Structure 1
Amino acid sequence: MDEGYIKFNPHWVKSPSFSYDGLTALMEARQKLYRKNLIGAYPSGIGFGNISVRNPLAVHSNAFFISGSATGHIPQLTKAHFSLVTKVDIEQNILYCEGPVIASSESMSHAVIYRECPEVQAVVHVHHLEMWRQLLHKVPTTDAAATYGTPEMAWSIVDLLKKTDLRDTKLFVMQGHEEGVFAFGNSLEEAVEVILSALENGVG
């Protein structure tokens, strides 16, 4: 299983933790999802799930803060567990980031949502097998051949944004990534609420 491994070519500049106050709300939102086991780690130790917010200080940019790679198992994140993605080249499969940790393996998928949807301020990726099964093909669903963290997944997301009602529902399932569900919102609160509502209504 290749779960959790980075598939993009990272250009990572290691730097101190960020002082951005908005990370506090991001940590609280992540904690809410962690408590519901939507973000966490498998018995093997491999982590799953990630959360991000657009960087409001980067005008005319699609930069965003995201939980770092291999942080899923950590009960309570601090500012030392976040990375700032500054640029993405999907065609070349290159991702530029900086911070105390390298960006999550799913950063490419987050990046394409921010690029295609300027109004989006937060993105959430969680794992939940039953919810995934319930929502598969009932909500916008990525191509089965597109695996997580790849340019193919990014292009599949773009395709959904163009051809389905994804911009309105703000929720999609990753067919080629079992358990994987994405949500986004015009605020961090909305992105989290979309996932929690899907969990409650889709699973019961």
Structure 2
Amino acid sequence: MDEGYIKFQPVWKKTEAFAESKLQNLLKYRQHCYLRRWIGAYPDGIGFGNISERIGTGETFFISGSATGGIPVLGPEQIAKVTAVVAKENKLWCSGPVVASSESMSHAVIYEKLPWVKGVIHIHHLELWQHLLHKVPTTPADAPYGTPEMVDGIVHLLETTDLPERKLFVMEGHEEGIFAFGKNLEEAFGVLEAVVDAPHFRV
């Protein structure tokens, strides 16, 4: 697993932490995901999973920072703000006390293509990933996480499948990787809960 490795070119402006009052919902659902072990770290210390929330009506968003998956309780000092993305050039602009997550371009394209989406969650769950692979919208096997190829794969799914309604997809080229989104983080979290807790899927 190389989840912690940023593959895009970050243009990062280091700043003080953002006000906790603006991050309460994001931090709340990140904690829910951590407690369910959907976000965390592998035995070798490499973190996995990330979560974001749109800021206002634009395409900027707050997201958990790179290499923060293994931190038990996230605070404002582990949150970045993504302000612009040019996927074709593999570049991303962010600010905050940490660099934005390695999956930030995937979050960004969902916000760009679906203006109604306010929350996006990326988790790792091997058994669920195996269960859902090709049963729900699935990105190409040759599209690595955090790359323009993955962005293209997500756009293709948004345009050619029921992904906007289903709000859930898996990443064949990123083992264990699953994305969910919704009109807010509560809905995105609920999408994941619904599939994990379904009677036909128990782990």
Q: TM-score, normalised by structure 2?
A: 0.97
Contact 1:140-1:173 within 8 A present in 2 as well: yes
What amino acid is the match of 2:191? V
Structure 1, residues 66-87: CA drift from partner, whole Å, max 9, x if none?
0000101100001111000000
Structure 1, residues 165-192: CA drift from partner, whole Å, max 9, x if none?
0000000000000000000000110011
Contact 2:39-2:123 within 8 A present in 1 as well: yes
Contact 1:142-1:173 within 8 A present in 2 as well: yes
Return the match for 1:88 from 82, 85, 89: 85
Shift of 1:122: 0.4
**Alignment match, 2:201:** 203
Contact 2:139-2:157 within 8 A present in 1 as well: yes
What amino acid is the match of 1:25? N
What amino acid is the match of 2:48? F
Contact 1:50-1:126 within 8 A present in 2 as well: yes
**Structure 2 unaligned spans of 5+:** none
Shift of 1:126: 0.1
What amino acid is the match of 2:201? V
Shift of 1:197: 1.2
Return the match for 2:119 from 114, 119, 122: 122
Structure 1, residues 48-82: CA drift from partner, whole Å, max 9, x if none?
000000011xx5x3000000001011000011110
Contact 1:130-1:203 within 8 A present in 2 as well: no
Cα distance in 2 between the residues matched to 1:65 and 1:90: 18
**Alignment match, 2:173:** 176
**Alignment match, 1:4:** 4
Shift of 1:203: 2.7
Q: TM-score, normalised by structure 1?
A: 0.96
Contact 2:3-2:102 within 8 A present in 1 as well: no
Cα distance in 2 between the residues matched to 1:198 and 1:11: 36
Contact 1:124-1:183 within 8 A present in 2 as well: yes
**Alignment match, 1:147:** 144
Moved more, 89-98 or 18-27: 18-27
What amino acid is the match of 2:45? G
Shift of 1:3: 2.7
Cα distance in 2 between the residues matched to 1:106 and 1:174: 12
Shift of 1:20: 5.6
Answer yes or no: is 1:52 the counterpart of 2:52: yes
Q: Give the total of aligned pairs.
A: 201
Return the match for 2:183 from 165, 183, 186: 186
Answer yes or no: is 1:33 the counterpart of 2:33: yes
**Structure 1 unaligned spans of 5+:** none
Shift of 1:2: 2.6
Q: CA RMSD in A?
A: 1.0
Moved more, 13-22 or 121-130: 13-22
Contact 2:2-2:46 within 8 A present in 1 as well: no
- Any idea what SS the aligned residue of 1:29 has? helix
Cα distance in 1 between the residues matched to 2:86 and 2:127: 34
**Alignment match, 1:13:** 13
